[in-house]
Amino acid sequence: MPRPQRFWLMKSEPTSYSLDDLQRDGRTGWSGVRNYQARNLLRDEVKPGDAVLFYHSNAEPPGVAGTAQVAREGHPDATAWKKGNVHFDPASTPSRPVWFQVEIGFVERFPRFVSLEEIRACHELQDMTLLKRSRLSVQPIEKHHFDRIVRMGRRKA
């Protein structure tokens, strides 16, 4: 029996990698995650075909710019092995990787950006992990949360 699709919110600082960058590139490795809880999700839970809300963090305003889809399951994050890389970790090696990444592909840019303020104001989204002060860069969300934010982003301004 096939695994049901899951839904994720993935955060990126737009000055580091934005939805524009993903749209240009088409597909990218979601690398550089250095939190054990998020690493475990990338390694064990996030699978190809899962849907992603692409969230711009540390932005003015922060919020969801569009969607992506997981294209490749968790595999070792080689940025941890590259001396000089901002994500280098001497404890991680190719034979004993500590950090993992997935690959995501661009799906959609919303006609309108869905700000964190709008998400907070929406009654249907009040139980999202995002609103519980979660700093995780990768977090699971419910299908109804995903669908609601997509509707908000597709609504004409």
Q: What are the tens digits of pLDDT across the range 12-27?
A: 999 999 999 999 999 9
pLDDT confidence bin for 125, thresholds 50/70/90: very high
Inform me whether the pLDDT recorded for 146 exceeds 90: yes
Residue 43 placed within a domain: yes
Q: How many structural domains does the chain have?
A: 1
pLDDT digits (tens, 9 = 90+) for 47-71: 999 999 999 999 999 999 999 999 9
Q: Give residue 157's pLDDT.
A: 60
Residue 1 placed within a domain: no
Cβ atoms within 10 Å of 70's Cβ, excluding its own? 23
Percent of the chain with pLDDT over 70: 99
Residue 54: CATH number of its domain: 3.10.590.10
Cβ atoms within 10 Å of 62's Cβ, excluding its own? 18
Distance, first Cα to last Cα, the chain: 41
Residue 26 backbone class (left: φ over 0; alpha: ψ -120 to 50; beta: rest): left
Cα 28 from Cα 14, distance rounded (Å): 14
Residue 29 placed within a domain: yes
Rounded to an integer, the average pLDDT of 80-95 is: 92
Inform me whether the pLDDT recorded for 43 exceeds 70: yes
Question: Which domain does 135 fall in, by range?
Answer: 7-154
Residue type (1 letter), 60 = E
pLDDT digits (tens, 9 = 90+) for 89-115: 999 999 999 999 999 999 999 999 999
